[in-house]
Amino acid sequence: MSLLEPVLGFLNNPQLLSIIIALIIFSIGYFVALVIRRVVFKVGIRFYARNIASIVSKIIYYVVLLIALSAALGYLGVELTGLIIAGGFAGIIVGVALQPLMASFFAGLYVMAERIIQQGEVVSVGNTMGEVVEVSLMFTKIRTFDGVLVTMPNSQLLSTVIQNYSKAVARRLEFTVSIAYSEDAEKAYSVIKDAVDNHPYVLADPAPDIFVSKLGDSGVVITVRVWVPRTLVYPVTKDLLWKIKKSLDQAGVSIPFPQLDVWIKTPVTLKKEEGSG
């Protein structure tokens, strides 16, 4: 009995009992927050990137924790209205001050969730084209093909046109070749077709498209459209036009240079200068 007396006396103190119950409420809230955080993270990484799953799970964790804290304080009779109003004002002030940062933050979340661009992809954002090095919550880093690292706020990603070249498995390339009017167009066509068909990286399906697209000022313009694997766009661009040029040269098909015929109505007398040979 002597041992139970202090315990019962302790429990008879209503203030102490309230504190214990408040602590229990907060502990339960804390435990629930931990469980929810883990579950959200584990489920999230199945569908989204690891960093986004981590961020979302942390946000939910802190929200649940805040609710638990509010409930515990509420049980203790702490008036939260003033705190909430003060917090609201502080939130508005901080929100206005950090508006650009918050915009980038939420844009970053959206970009990651939607997988608009991802690390390693080749993209064009506004005037910047290159490989994505990193997508973080605030910034996206792109390394341009001439080796410059461009860091842009994520908010900019949502306000501009993004071209993602890595989403397609193949890309179409287009070349134009001009041949002189005096040349045999059929022969030129078959020479170009052979060059295209013999190139290993020009896809057989979708089939290449070769056609006369314009009767130009200086020659007949032939357009060549080919599909190539996405990763080989640059080497094929460099290689194919060169091969077409060489094939046309070997076949004796001349590529015209820009020329202009001038007709003079009145006769022109050409005078030979003394000592000009």
Partner 1 sequence: MVKRKSGMYGLVVKDSLEVGEAFIKVERFENHLKYRRSMKGDVKEAILDKNALVETRPIYSLFYPSFITGYILVALSKPVVLSPKSSLRIQLQLPVDLALYAVSGDFYQLIDLVPLHSNYKYALYGPVISSVEVAGYIARLVRAEPVAEDTVEPSERHCLTRVLIVNKTQDFAKVSKILLDAKPLKIFYIPGTWKCYTQDIKMVLNSSEHASVLYEEKPCEECTELEEPEEFKGLLRALSTEMLWGY
Q: Which residues bind partner 1 (CB under 8 A)?
A: 167-171, 198, 200-206, 227, 229, 231-232
CA distances from 122 to 111, 151, 217, 270 (A): 15, 15, 38, 61
Give the Cα separation of 133 and 151 in Å (integer). Answer: 10
For 269, phi and psi rounded to 5 degrees?
A: -100, 125
3 state SS of 122: strand
Q: Residue 112 or residue 220: which is nearer to partner 1 going by CB?
A: 112
Q: Residue 13 or residue 198: which is nearer to partner 1 going by CB?
A: 198
Give the Cα separation of 139 and 151 in Å (integer). Answer: 6
Give the Cα separation of 113 and 111 in Å (integer). Answer: 6
Task: Single out the residue of 218, 214, 156 nearest to residue 183, CA to CA.
Answer: 218
Q: Residue 191 or residue 202: which is nearer to partner 1 going by CB?
A: 202
Give the Cα separation of 25 and 172 in Å (integer). Answer: 63
Give the Cα separation of 275 and 47 in Å (integer). Answer: 87
Residue 42: CB minimum distance to partner 1, A: 21
Q: Strand 209-215's sheet: what is its strand order?
A: 170-179, 220-229, 209-215
Residue 107: CB minimum distance to partner 1, A: 21
Q: Residue 103 or residue 203: which is nearer to partner 1 going by CB?
A: 203
Q: Are strands 162-164 and 149-153 parallel, antiparallel or unpaired?
A: unpaired
Residue 221: CB minimum distance to partner 1, A: 26
Instruction: Report residue 200 as tokens.
Output: 């290993």
Contact 117, 111 (CB under 8 A): yes
Residue 166: CB minimum distance to partner 1, A: 10
Q: Residue 167 or residue 225: which is nearer to partner 1 going by CB?
A: 167
Residue 154: CB minimum distance to partner 1, A: 21
Residue 56: CB minimum distance to partner 1, A: 21
Q: Residue 107 or residue 228: which is nearer to partner 1 going by CB?
A: 228
Give the Cα separation of 151 and 160 in Å (integer). Answer: 15
Contact 210, 194 (CB under 8 A): no
Q: Residue 65 or residue 192: which is nearer to partner 1 going by CB?
A: 192
Residue 116: CB minimum distance to partner 1, A: 12
Q: Residue 40 or residue 122: which is nearer to partner 1 going by CB?
A: 122
Residue 170: CB minimum distance to partner 1, A: 5
